[in-house]
Structure 1
Amino acid sequence: MTSMPMSALLSALRGAGRQHLTASTVAARQAITGSHVLRVHGYNKVLRKKVPNGHFFESAPFGAGGHTWKVVCYPNGSDRDHAGYTSLFLKSLRPHDDPFVFDATTARLQASVLDRDGKPWRTQTAEHRSFLGYEAWGWKDFVKNDDLDLVDDCLTVLCDVTVDDLPLHAEEVVTAAAATPPPEPTASALPPSFDGHGWFPEAIWSDMPTDDMVTIHVGGKSFPAHRFLLEAHSPVLKLALQNVTSSQLHIAGGLALDAEVFEAMLQYMNNYSPSCSEKIKVEPTIADRLLVAADKYGLEKLKLACGEALCPRVDMGSVAAMLTLAERHGCPVLKDACIQFLSRAGNLGSFASTDGFQRLMKDCPSAAEEIADIAVKQYA
């Protein structure tokens, strides 16, 4: 027996005399698993000889469960007691004090060394609670190096990251005011027009059913949008819309996500398909805030475009903030631009004498090793 739809339930309750009636829905979330393959060539002959005990390398950033991660590998052990092992850890790229993250509770990491046939040869599983921040967890003794039987000296590790329970912030839980139907959209509230290079012709709006429309409220403004567009682009919005029983979705604004930024993000979703290969246009003045929003909502192509828009703005006064932004939100293209800037003759020495350098070391310690590598190369 299925439960009564919310709309029917509210109609029945209003018919019983409850005219001032509101409702909200909370639903259990399914665990979300994302997988990443890390393949390392020349593992024994090159990396284990060049990377000393206590030093590591990282995978490229990847998304899983609405968050961004990196795999951290110590080919000669993370400390002296594990010098004969490969140590492997998972790191979240979001800091504890980042106000734009969800309050996820538990993440599980399962990592497997794959054999020549792509089948797990050695598997370890670890669980971690309250994982947000520059935390890394995993195994100092992931695998003993003498036990590794590598094909063509190539190490292949499959990492499955499962995030349980992704609740929204309290402000983002949708409350359906069901006493009166929502007003008909006015001319100013119609969907934004297309600029000619969009996902599909503007005429398609007239072919879409009206019940596909939702209204997003953020920063004191309301934005109409097609549900299928939001769900196709953003796994985070798709998850939020699964629990919407009305056509209204309220999103708490913040320092990075205000009405201006959300409008730009919505314009991107209107005009570009997830598989679009053409260059995405980003307004440089909001590229930093838009990058944070794109990372939060899983819009990887938009995040890349924001990073590219910020690269020309990297200079002595901005490099600390840009490198912190790139590290926190998993933007390799912006990070590379910062590293290249600091690698130029004289720049690192000048930067080390600024307040920005001290803030970077405090706020983004993960960048310290990159800067140390630059210093070694320049002053060796």
Structure 2
Amino acid sequence: MSTSVILSAMRGAGRQQITASTVRAKQASGSHVFRIEEFTRAREKLANGIAVMSSPFGAGGHDWFIKCYPNGVPGGAGNHISLFLMHDSHAKTGDATAAYKMSILDKALKPSCTKFEHERHFRGDGWGWTEFMGLQDLDRDKYLVEDCLSILCDVTTTDGLRAAAEPPFDLRGLQLAEAIWNRETADVTIHLGDGETIAAHRWVLEARSPVLKADLAFASNTTADHLRLFVNDMDADVCKSLLRFIYTDSPPPELETAPPKNVERLLAAADRFQLEKLKLLCVEALCKKIDASSVAAALALAERHGCPTLREACAQFLVKNTTTHEQPISTSVF
């Protein structure tokens, strides 16, 4: 069961100001293709126990390289290819825990003869297979393209547990927003005036709002890769509706049924952060809600935030619903 489902149930039970976090393993992946040209010649020239190495590559904040023994490891029978994943950055990055797999690419560039390790702990050393593939199984027509052997290595590092902030809105049915939250760690914490904090992703905010981009440029850091943004004059409900639009480009589902004052606050926020589409959606919703009790506030809002459509709707309402009792003026000429 997802956390968003649990939060929805808790809010439905009356706990409106509720947040959540989930502890999960922090993972990052990377891949590298190591090509050994003139592999047949390399096998003939290199003795048993002599290795060739790939260039270093990064994955999960660590550096790695592939070590291949074309004729097997030292002391071996010399009838297998040996492959190892080596941890190259231990002095700089410390120990690493990683799952990995290696494959030989066939002529269609599809992984074949794949072997994998679910998880190993690296302390500057390497792990792998002394008998990855028997030389008698190395089908030249299948694996050697112009006598080139291509080795694919996939590495996924696990760097302990972290508390992952939960999204401020229900992700069910919102595939793109869900993909962002499940794949990337939130790197912005929005601090509201009522003390509530809401998590978000910097690149999403910057891409959607030039004002937020400017604000984040001057935001304070909690760590080297995490920012705090203070928005003291916005309540949590408006902020969550705003973020839902930023992540999904669709109006909050409650926009049509919300009281006019709630929509007015969201319109003001949309204008503040230059979210023109959301501003127009709020105007459209407010035009449908104009009545005698709200027309004055709506007209003032239209003037304050430059909403000609809303201003025109208010004017039409007033013309339609105002009764005039004007008396003709008579003049006498003496």
Larger Rg: 2
TM-score w.r.t. the length of structure 2 is 0.45
TM-score computed with the length of structure 1 as normaliser: 0.40
Higher strand content, 1 or 2: 2
